[in-house]
Amino acid sequence: MTTGKIVVLGSLNMDLSIRVPRLPRPGETVAGTEMVRGTGGKGANQALAARRLGAQVALVGAVGADQFGAELRDDLVASGVDVSGVAVAPEVATGVALIVVDPHGENMITISPGANATLTAPDLRAQLDGAHALLLQLEVPVDACRAAADAARCAGVPVVLNAAPLPDHPADDLTELIRGSDVLVVNETEAAGLAPGAASADDAARILRDLGVPEVVVTLGEHGAIAADRAGLTHVPAFSVDAVDAVGAGDAFCAEFSLARTAGGADLATATRRACAAGGLAASRPGAAASLPHRDEVDRLLDAPTYDSAEVTNRAT
């Protein structure tokens, strides 16, 4: 696989995580282990993931002028991520995510967006120079994502949109952003929210593809992923791993997919297969940033004899 340059526009949060014996019910307090804090936010996670997978990475976002913001920038720089596009908002706190995780890897997350909500329309010309892809998520304002997508299209850079987290009531501006993207990546729940009349994940993938997005990928957790384009649907099974924490799995998936599909020139099914491997590895480890795999780990899992490439199925529609 060829390495390349990925530009990520997205959120930076300080993650505050506690492992619990079970997830609390409404109004209930559950005692857990000590709190662990670390780099988080879908933007920062996807930037770190792409860097570990061998890409040159530029991150665009915003933090507050506080200790959390300084720590996040320092951690990213130490990992080799270009943070020259990360603005410091002096009047707003850095974003924070409160995370609880049970022994099965299920989690509950609450986010205070802080400075992430201040991102408007940053100038991406310097970051997009030589880039193979622009990777977006929805933990920053949709208007900022639309402006970034417009800049990428003008620069001839493909846009990969991870439409997560999905707003409770998706609006027309999100539909416009989706239609203007080259690839849409969503999980099964997000796909159902964007295609409310869909009878299945396959049906949702078809509906979203028919909105005009050239390629749609629906992730299915332990069941793998569905990749859809004009030729039809491809189901790629998951890799067999012992899942302990799914917090960073989707971010690892998106980073590997973007790198493989654009810089690596892999076809849609191959890029999705590599992404499933990266996501599976992240799910097998606790934490968000700490769980993100390196490129050699993904390659080793892809070469593991337990994976049967014949299980990949194609369905024309």
Residues designated catalytic: 251
Kindly state the DSSP code that residue 238 receives in the 8-state scheme.
P
Element (H, E) at 19: strand 13-19
Close Cβ partners of 50 (under 8 Å, ≥ 6 residues apart): 6, 8, 57, 135, 255, 258, 259
Concatenate the DSSP letters of all residues of 39-57 into one string: EESHHHHHHHHHHHTT-EE
For 259, which DSSP code?
I
Residue with tokens 């990777």: 135
CA 108 – CA 53 distance, rounded (Å): 27
Which amino acid makes up residue 116?
N
Tokens of 33: 């282990």
Burial-class residue 64 by CB neighbours within 10 Å (0-12, 13-18, 19+): buried
Beta carbons of 185 and 226 less than 8 angstroms apart: no
